[in-house]
Structure 1
Amino acid sequence: MALPPTAASASVLRSLRSEGVSVSPVSDGIGVLDAVRARDPALIVLDVELPGPEQGAVLAALQTEVPNVPVIAVTSRERRAGLIGQLRADRDDYVVRPFAVDELAARIRLRLRLGPPAENGVLRHGVLTVDTEFGDVTVDGQGVSLSPTEYALLMALLTAPGEIVPPDRLAREVWSEPASANLIQVYISYLRRKIGAERIRTVRGEGYVLEA
């Protein structure tokens, strides 16, 4: 875990260790690469504002050195846009500072459960298939044409298949800014029409679940 030594990072460490997760903290960019080579981690949390080398370069180096290891990037809202293009849709994730400790812990648990990365950039969930390299989406073998916003919404749901994704997370990941509940519902409706209404379940007051 590559986070600067703050009260927040100490809280994250305590939370993860209390759940039985083995954590090896480092406090600078050089230390991240050294730790990866020495410890063979299952997952990397990388704060893009760590001291040391430019963290975009550190992220790229990590993806090359350990291509099957997921990275969760911690970023500020200002740096988010430049970071997202570097993340692998089938493998990586991010949180925006300030974040809740339980949110980061939940994302770590999810990434650790996902297993190997998608084969050849293809993600599958039930009859739904997404080719992340070309942006192609099929449902039960039939091609589906999505708008850029619909595709981004599907990918946000697909990062947590079978789990509740809250509206505020969808707003952050799809629109990069506050989005009204009504706007999110409208695009959920659009997406349901294209991939099947039964594949997106609404959990009232909590969010949406992508079903298999």
Structure 2
Amino acid sequence: MTKILLIEDDQKAARLLKRGLQEEDFAVDAVHSAEEGEPAALTGDYDLIVLDWMLPAKDGITLCGELRARGLTTPILMLTARDGLGDRIAGLDTGADDYLTKPFAFDELLARIRALLRRSTLTQPPPLKVADLTLEPQSHVVKRAGQVLDLTPKEYAILELLMRQAGHVVSRQQLAERIWTADLIALDNLMDAHMRNLRRKLDPEGMPRLIHTVRGQGFRLAEAADDDA
């Protein structure tokens, strides 16, 4: 069943939309803030996200940009009362795949959802593979030797970056800038803690190690390495 994440702070509107979508045979989870929506989007294995622009504390356009920066490729349909051309351009430029202005007819919402799902099926990114390790960018499912690994969002982000650069060294500075969007200062201990936890899950006892430390340079994901620390 197709899974949709609805991020809408108006709880009455969220209930109505959720009920309508469920009647169309979609599985729908509804949350009401960016703080709830971000972890759900990154870990919930959704086929599509319906995201309201006007959320409390952190707005939808900011959340959309942050999700794209984290590598999330799930289609996002932005809902908003803003109907200016500049607003529509801003929403699309931030990473939304489509933009629907309130008030809207439910049938139009359905049509746009189905169009995005068709497009997503055609453009679904291929899985990343290194040895017996696989990562599905669309669903965020990671498996080692066929076993699903339970990774935190940070661990997943680190692993995806290493897998996209498989066989090449990823420096600490690159990790700091891409995963924490910050300078390396004061991040060394935090980075090492995340790397230890990721290695423990990825390379259990008896399994060939895939994450290797390259002295003075950074980390490399590969089937074998001669320059481990």
Q: Scaled by the length of structure 1, what TM-score is found?
A: 0.49
Which structure features the higher share of helix residues? 1
Larger Rg: 2
